[in-house]
Amino acid sequence: MGRTKVKVRTVPDPKILNARDAIVRITSTAICGSDLHLYDGYVPTMKKGDILGHEFMGEVVEVGPAVDTLRVGDRVVVPFPIACGACMACQRGLFSICENSNPNAELADRIMGHSPAGIFGYSHMLGGFAGGQAEYARVPFADVGPIKIEDGLPDEQVLFLSDILPTGFMGADMAVSPGDVVAVWGAGPVGMFAMASAVMFGAQRVIAIDRFDYRLRRAAENTGAETINYEEVDVADALDEMTAGRGPDACIDAVGMEAHHANPAIDRYDRVKQAARLETERPHAVREAILTCRNGGTVAIIGAYAGYMDKFPIGPLMNRSLTIRTGQCHVQRYMRPLLDRIRAGDIDPSFVISHLLPLEEAPRGYEMFKNKEDGCTKVVLTP
Amino acid sequence: MRGSDDHGTSQRSGRSNRRRMAAAAAAVLGITALGVLAAARLSRRVRLSRVPPGDGAIRVESRVTVNRTLEEAYAFWRDLSRLASFMTHLESVSESASPDGDRRSHWTAGAPGGGTVEWDAVLVQDVVGELISWRSVEVAEVTNSGAVRFRTAPGGRGTEVLVELVYEPPAGPVGATVATLLGEEPQQQLVDDLRRFKQIIETGEVVRSEGSPEGTRAGRLLRQRPAQPVA
């Protein structure tokens, strides 16, 4: 409804608009770290009345005439990028840059050069699609995106297939080789899934970087990561010591555009510019990841960014042969293999959940999540 | 709207600090303005080119790549009746064979405030998998012509479709007819039309959202519905 203002309102039920739509009755839906960027007003092209939410699952209650892969009654998890399955990008597994799914592509084109895929509940620049923090959602290209859950796994164990689990996994997929020392900035849910995934990809050591002890503890308990609290120690020094002068082989930025910096002056520089809209990002994590990464190493950027940052360390990047890999997660590519891992007991993603609230209490959920109150790591809402 | 996030407390005050902040702000503003300008210029597809002054004709052109073969893309456009499914100014196009062998077509466009504008056209060139071009014939309210070219994209990336439309308004006041055909932004309209063509040929339909329930349309970009279900 405005900056730091969300309300639960009654709106019309969604209808089928395209022949390949399905309507899903939502059983569980989560608040994402990237929803906070919308909440805090840092993503342009939001409009009062927009429904937020892109991490949701539930039961199919209606299908359009051209959907033959889903039936009413099917239980599905819905991926956050909307993808047609037919364009060159989708056929190459690059679902989050689908060439067709953003009807407002021209808006994104102006700001970004080309348009990425449409996303549920994530600004008009990315399609103006109603999101999933609601009782029902219309799901376009229902024959491409949603994955069926057929063996009774509870919502809490599979909900995060929609976004944060594949996002963390893709971060590790892009950067980690067996034997690596991996540093992950951000010990939130995405960061923790990146740490757990780094282990799956053969990392020898995983280091979590954050400033909240409760998050670092959770990361250590659930993924075995070593921890650095950047308000207590200097990160560059700590990483140098831990790697005998090399730097981490793989660095994963799971923080994104609202990073916090321990040095108040630096924090204020970017924060003031961001508030004055002179800069759209606060890029501390990605700067630090680039500067500390081992020469020739890889930096995976999976934290969400919207626009343009200042003071990007392009000199260090270029001179030290770093590789940057990045992207909005191509969720559809990872859902099946990750569901198999969950079914096999390799990972139980529900460990990131700290709060379960009814949908009516979404505003409180947003505030708690934003301010990290009450040990909040992840809020799941039930309509 | 509530206030934004806190800025923390100042560490010190004083004129020198303010001057430094002012200088920094000026430098930042300069960089930012350049950054914004660079970003704004990045959009390549909006380029209205006019034939030199005096002629009065308006040419719009645009292009799109589709994940289909040359033959499929050509066949889609060669069925001229399909043009109305993605070109927003057209209501219908129908083809017939005339007695002297011309492939003639009859075009109908919607006029502002209701009613229609109509004209006949003939195919000028028709090379399978390469080129289709047409022009209006006899007395058309707005003489117009069009051409579509098809090329295989490098590296197996599909088919490139390049479209050019030319409108030659009659001498004298340019009336409602031209506005009907061209819309407010003729170049942008063609860009949108080609996005819709790509959506239809690749996915079967124009893609709709709650913000843009009619699908891609320039007029909607700045007048979005809220992202809530359509009633």
A332: pLDDT strictly greater than 90: yes
Task: Name the pLDDT band for B181 (thresholds 50, 70, 90).
Answer: low
Residue with tokens 């689990």: A165
The Cα–Cα gap between A167 and B162 comes to 37
B192 touches A: beta carbon within 8 Å: yes
Q: How much is the average pLDDT of B24-51?
A: 41
Q: Tell me the C-alpha distance between A126 and A124, whole Å.
A: 5
Residue B162: what pLDDT?
98
- For residue A89, give the chain B residue with the closest CA: B67
Please give the share of chain A, as a percent, with pLDDT higher than 90: 87
What is the 8-class DSSP label of residue B42?
T
Question: How far is residue A143's CA from residue A113's CA, in Å, rounded to a whole number?
Answer: 29
Picking from B220, B222, B224, B225 by the largest number of A CB atoms within 10 A of its own CB, the best residue to mutate is B224
Chain B residues within 8 A of A102 when measuring between CB atoms: 207
Domain regions of chain B by residue span: 49-221
Determine contact: B8 vs chain A, CB below 8 A: yes
For residue A102, the model assigns a pLDDT of: 98
Angstroms from A108 CA to nearest CA on chain B: 10
Distance from CA of B204 to the nearest CA of A (A): 9
Roughly what angle, to the nearest 10 degrees, separates helices A164-175 and A189-200? 50
Q: Which of B160, B210, B222, B225 to mutate to test the interface with A (most CBs of A within 10 A)?
A: B210
Give the residue with greater pLDDT, A93 vs B5. A93
B196 touching chain A per CB within 8 A: no
Considering only A297-301, B48-52, B194-198, which range has the smallest mean pLDDT?
A: B48-52
Question: Nearest-CA distance from B103 to chain A in Å?
Answer: 33
Of the two residues B53 and A122, the one the predictor is more confident about is A122
The token duo for A24 is 């899903």
Indicate which of A120, A124, A280, A367 best probes the interface with B, i.e. most B CBs within 10 Å of its own CB. A124
Residue B126 sits at φ, ψ, to 5 deg, of: -150, 95
Model confidence at B39, in pLDDT bands (50, 70, 90)?
A: very low
**For residue A87, pLDDT beyond 80:** yes
> How much of chain B exceeds pLDDT 90, in percent?
48
Which residue of A103, A110, A310 is in closest CB contact with B215?
A103
Q: Answer for the pair A140, A20: CB distance below 8 angstroms, yes or no.
A: yes
Computed over every residue of chain A, the mean pLDDT equals 95
Yes or no: domain A166-326 corresponds to CATH 3.40.190.10: no
According to the model, what pLDDT value does residue B214 have? 93
Do B202 and A84 make contact, defined as CB atoms within 8 angstroms? yes
pLDDT in the model for residue B187: 87
Taking the Cβ of residue B15 and every Cβ of chain A, the question of whether any pair is shorter than 8 Å is answered with no
In this prediction, residue B184 carries a pLDDT of: 66
The shortest C-alpha distance from B91 to chain A (Å) reads 21
Residues in chain A: 383
How many C-beta neighbours within 10 Å does residue A374 have?
10
Which of A112, A267, A278 is nearest residue B32 as measured by Cβ atoms? A278
Q: Are A144 and A200 in contact (CB under 8 A)?
A: no
Mean pLDDT of B201-218: 95
Q: Which residue matches tokens 């609202």?
A: A258
Write the pLDDT tens digit of every residue in A141-166. Answer: 999 999 999 989 999 999 999 999 99
Q: Where are the domains of chain A?
A: 22-163+329-382, 166-326
Cα–Cα distance, A17 to A276 (Å, whole number): 39
Q: What is the rounded distance in angstroms from the CA atom of residue A327 to the CA atom of residue A344? A: 28
Q: Which of B1, B191, B207 sits opposite A106 (nearest CB)?
A: B191
Its CATH class, for the domain covering B49-221, is alpha beta
In the prediction, which pLDDT does B58 show?
84
Identify which has the larger pLDDT, A362 or B4. A362
Q: Give domain A22-163+329-382's CATH architecture.
A: Alpha-Beta Complex (3.90)
| Higher pLDDT among residues B93 and A276, named by residue | B93
